[in-house]
Structure 1
Amino acid sequence: MRLTSRGKFLLVVGVFVAPVVAAYLAYAGWRPSAHSNYGDLLNVTPLQQTAGQTPDGHAFDLGELRGKWVMVRVGPGHCDAACAWQLYLMRQTRIAQGKEQSRIERLWVLTDTAPPDTAVLAAHPGLHVWRPASPAFAAQFPAPQGSATAHIYLIDPLGNLMMRFPSHVDAKGMMKDLRLLLKASQIG
C-alpha cells in the first residue's frame, strides 16, 4: 500500500502530536486505577510539642530527626507481643530498603512512665526511644478505634505526620509504600 502525500503528512503530524496529547491527558488528571497505597494517607500535619527526653533522662527534641523518614510506634514502656512485633517489622522494613536505609529512623514514643525493657532495646539497636514532655503529644496520632498503639505511623522528613499503617500490618505492603516514598522523595 502506497501512502499519498497527504497521508504521509498526516502520519508525520500524528507522530509529533500523539505524545503531546498523551502528556496533556496524564497532566489533566487521568491516573491508572491499579495503583494504591497500602497505608492510610492522613491529613499532613506538622507534629507539635516535640520536646521530651530519652528514658535515661537526656533531653531530646524530635526536630533532631528532621530530614529523615521516621517510622513511629506509640505506646507504653511495657512491650507486649504486639509491641515486639511492631518493633521487629519497623527494623526489618528499614533493613529491607538496602542502601536507602540511612534515610529512615525508627522511634518508640513512650506514653507512660514505665521504663522500656532493656532486652527489647538490646534487640533493636538504633531505635530512638522517647518520652514527650507533654502527654498531649500522643493525641496527634489518629486511630480508627482510638488506640494508636495498634498502628505504625510514618513522619515525613519535614516533621509532618502523613501515614498510618493498618493494625495487622502486612510487611510487604509497608515495605512497598516506603520504597515508593523514598524513590519519589527529593528530601530525606
Structure 2
Amino acid sequence: MKIRDAINEILDELPDEELQKLYWSIRIFHEHYAFNRTLQDKGVVISPLYEDREHIKACWDKAFAHHVPDEIKEAIHYDQYKWHLFSYEQADCLQAEEARAAFDQMVKGDLYVMYQHGPDVFLYEHAKDLVSTDFDAQQDIYVFDREFSWTYVHTHEAMCGPYFATSK
C-alpha cells in the first residue's frame, strides 16, 4: 500500500472536528517544508550548530544589546523577545520596508539563523541569494552574519518589524 493511500484511509475515518485539528498541523508542516525547499532551491545548505549555539546566542546579545542595562531589558521583556530591543526603541534600527531593503542589499555569504523560541542555531551556507521575503512565513527569526555586524529580524507581529540593525 502506498503511503498516500494509507494516510487517506486514516483521514476517511476521522470526523470533521478532528480533521480541523489535523489541518493546522499539516499546514505548519507544509510551511516548514516550503521554507526549506525555497532555501534549498537557492543553493543554501542548512546545518544545525549544536556545540556553539549558546556561544552564538551570547554573541548576538553582546553585539546588539550590550548597551541596554539589565533593568531596561527586564522592563521590555527582552527575555521573551529579543526583538523588543527594537520595538521599544532601545537600539537604532531600520523598520518595515527600509529593513527589508537593507537586508536585500547586504552581501551575504554564510549566515547564522536562530529562532526566539527554539534552542537551535543554524548555519546557512551559500546564502547569497536570500532576500527578506524568504522569511515572511517565519516567526521570531533572527538572521545575522558570522561577524555579528548586522541582523535582520522577522517577528510574529504584523505591526512590529521586520527590523534591520547594525552592531556598534
Q: Fold conserved (TM > 0.5)?
A: no
TM-score (normalizing by structure 1)? 0.28
The structure that has the greater radius of gyration is: 1
Q: Give the number of the structure with larger relative contact order, counting CA–CA contacts within 8 Å between residues 6 or more apart.
A: 1
